[in-house]
Structure 1
């Protein structure tokens, strides 16, 4: 059988759903048998939309909770977001509604757009919610992952312009307040194959990703560094006061507090190419120090190119909310037809995506000492949040659990 051509592999990749590093069901997951609840209303908003689910017994918005969608690529899929919140480990939407809370599920036309751009959509949702609400119960406003940063920016921006937002509680659910992480090997692979299919690289290079990622590379052989977009975003946050000051600020993390990381060890082989078109590709977890092998890359080329570490800590196994980044890539490649020769063997599916210290805004990510610190020993005032809760164990990013959800529910206004 002849080797597949560059054009055949490109067509095979482009005819499949894009490889996208976002939490959610695997590519081969069966859809849930229950249909999502029909919303009471659907709002068209500048740059996005919202679905409104009234609380049990409510005839109009009375006690609203605005929940913003997180990072991804393309438009928010609010049906999928509803399923994630409802059909995970804990039925969060049902419990909100049972407590007579009205859920305003907020989505964006482009999840990879810049945080300030999607903040404008969040501000429109806040103003419309306040305008349609009956009664004076303060709003609760927040989001999952990047949605927590978008709503944080929205509320702080409104306050900086003296716009009334009527919010009594801000909440974040595993949001990367001090940065998120995608392994150097995965970023490099995404850019390495952009000549075949640019969509994976486009996600890593999207405005939101450049603002979110603690360290970023724009090309497969680039040096990991804080992007110019992240530097500008952090400066904008400082300009608007970092945090809103009127509401109470709370947050939860899917990572543990004790400083104990996962079983992902530094410098381990995570993914290996097995098919003829990808043999020679090996992706490794992040090793500390300089000059250690992070990735060997070969896809439809004769040469194999290497990517080396550049003084980064052992962040892949740090305590925090994890993402199946290596697993998502392997699943996407293995779903392609066998003759394309892109079969891979994945040995480590997950890596730290939002370190615990980032999710509760209590520490930086620059060293192993900071990443693996025992948060319970740190003073609360180190965090920008007024109160926070971490998971009992390290678990998937944005996983809806009873432990975290009930803590959050008990603090709603």
Structure 2
């Protein structure tokens, strides 16, 4: 059997969906078999779309609640929004509408675009909601993951411009207020295969990813650091006073508050290449310390390269919302034609994506002491939020649960 050619590998990779590190159904997920309801109306906005669902019994827009979409690649999808909010562990859209709330699902033409660009879309959605609302009920505005940062910026920017956003409540759902995390092993691998398929690397290097990630590398052998784009975004938020001043600010986290991490240990082998094209590739969970091995990289060529890091904490097992980053990569490779030799063995599918301390804006990600802090013992006023709710277990990032959703519903104005 002859070895696959470079052209065959490139063709096969590009014939499959891009490897994207974001929440969503995996390749082996069971289809839910239900279609989203057609929206009551659709708003075409600059840079995005809003799908509007009137609350039960409402003649039009009466009590608007805006949910902004989170990070991914490409345009927002109505099907995906329903998958997350309605067809998971808790039917959040149905419950909102049953309570007489109008649900506005805010999507973006490009979810990996700059947060500052998508903030313009969020501001347009808020303005449209005020224009179409019947009566004077205040708005509730927020979003999932990156959507919480987009709307946070949008409200603060409107206040700076002296625009009355008429929003009484801002909320975030597992949003990375102090940064998100993709293991350096995965970032380096994404860039390492760029010549074969650039889409994985492009996502890691997208404007939104650079702004969201606490530590980023732009090439496989880069030094993990805060990107210039993130520094610019943080400076912009500081200039706006960090938060909108008028609404009540709340948030929920998909991680626990007592500092208990997951069973993911530092320095463990997470993914190993088994096929001929990737044998020798080994991706490890992040270890603290200096000159720590996080990846051995070999794809197609004979040479194996190593990636080492220094001064990073044990973030993969920290309490927080998790992402199946290693699992996503393994599933994508194992779905390829076996003749290409990309079979992988995944031993650890998930890693922490949004630490709980980041989701409730109470500690940074720089040390294990901060990441694994017992949030329940910290003064609540140290958070940028007025109130927050943490999950009773560490669970998937942006997982919509009854526990978090009912708390959020009870906070709505």
What interval of TM-score do these two structures reach, taking the shorter chain for normalisation? over 0.9
Mapped pair 1:60 → 2:90: no
Aligned to 1:40: 40
Aligned to 1:180: 180
Aligned to 1:276: 276
Query: 1:277-333 CA distances to partner (integer Å, 9 max, x unpaired)?
Result: 000000000000111110000001110000012210000000000000000000001
Alpha-carbon contact 2:55-2:101 (below 8 Å) kept:
yes
Q: Matches of 1:273 and 1:143 in 2, distance apart?
A: 37
Aligned to 1:260: 260
Q: Matches of 1:280 and 1:390 in 2, distance apart?
A: 40
Aligned to 2:370: 370
Secondary structure of 2:186's counterpart equals helix
The 5 A counterparts of 1:1-16 are: 1-16=1-16
Q: Give the TM-score normalised by structure 2.
A: 0.99
Aligned to 1:103: 103
Aligned to 1:243: 243
Secondary structure of 2:191's counterpart equals helix
Aligned to 1:387: 387
Secondary structure of 2:33's counterpart equals coil
Aligned to 1:398: 398
Aligned to 2:354: 354
Aligned to 1:198: 198
Q: Matches of 2:130 and 2:339 in 1, distance apart?
A: 56
Q: Matches of 2:259 and 2:11 in 1, distance apart?
A: 45
Q: Matches of 1:6 and 1:228 in 2, distance apart?
A: 34
Aligned to 1:162: 162
Aligned to 1:289: 289
Secondary structure of 1:290's counterpart equals coil
Aligned to 1:86: 86
Aligned to 1:139: 139
Q: Matches of 1:302 and 1:78 in 2, distance apart?
A: 44
Alpha-carbon contact 2:74-2:112 (below 8 Å) kept:
yes
Deviation of 1:381 after TM superposition, in Å, equals 0.7
Q: Matches of 1:111 and 1:409 in 2, distance apart?
A: 26
Alpha-carbon contact 2:36-2:78 (below 8 Å) kept:
no
Secondary structure of 1:353's counterpart equals strand
Aligned to 1:315: 315
Q: Matches of 1:4 and 1:291 in 2, distance apart?
A: 35
Q: Matches of 2:78 and 2:390 in 1, distance apart?
A: 26
Structure 2 unaligned spans of 5+: none
Task: Name the count of aligned residue pairs.
Answer: 413
Q: Matches of 1:219 and 1:209 in 2, distance apart?
A: 14
Secondary structure of 2:291's counterpart equals strand
Q: Matches of 1:120 and 1:225 in 2, distance apart?
A: 28
Secondary structure of 1:95's counterpart equals helix
Alpha-carbon contact 1:21-1:328 (below 8 Å) kept:
yes
Secondary structure of 1:65's counterpart equals strand
Q: Matches of 1:318 and 1:19 in 2, distance apart?
A: 24
Structure 1 unaligned spans of 5+: none
Deviation of 1:84 after TM superposition, in Å, equals 1.1
Q: Matches of 1:210 and 1:169 in 2, distance apart?
A: 28
Secondary structure of 2:170's counterpart equals strand
Alpha-carbon contact 1:160-1:241 (below 8 Å) kept:
no
Q: Give the TM-score normalised by structure 1.
A: 0.99
RMSD after superposition = 0.6
Aligned to 1:329: 329
Secondary structure of 2:263's counterpart equals coil
Instruction: Indicate the larger mover: 169-178 or 308-317.
Output: 308-317
Alpha-carbon contact 1:223-1:310 (below 8 Å) kept:
no
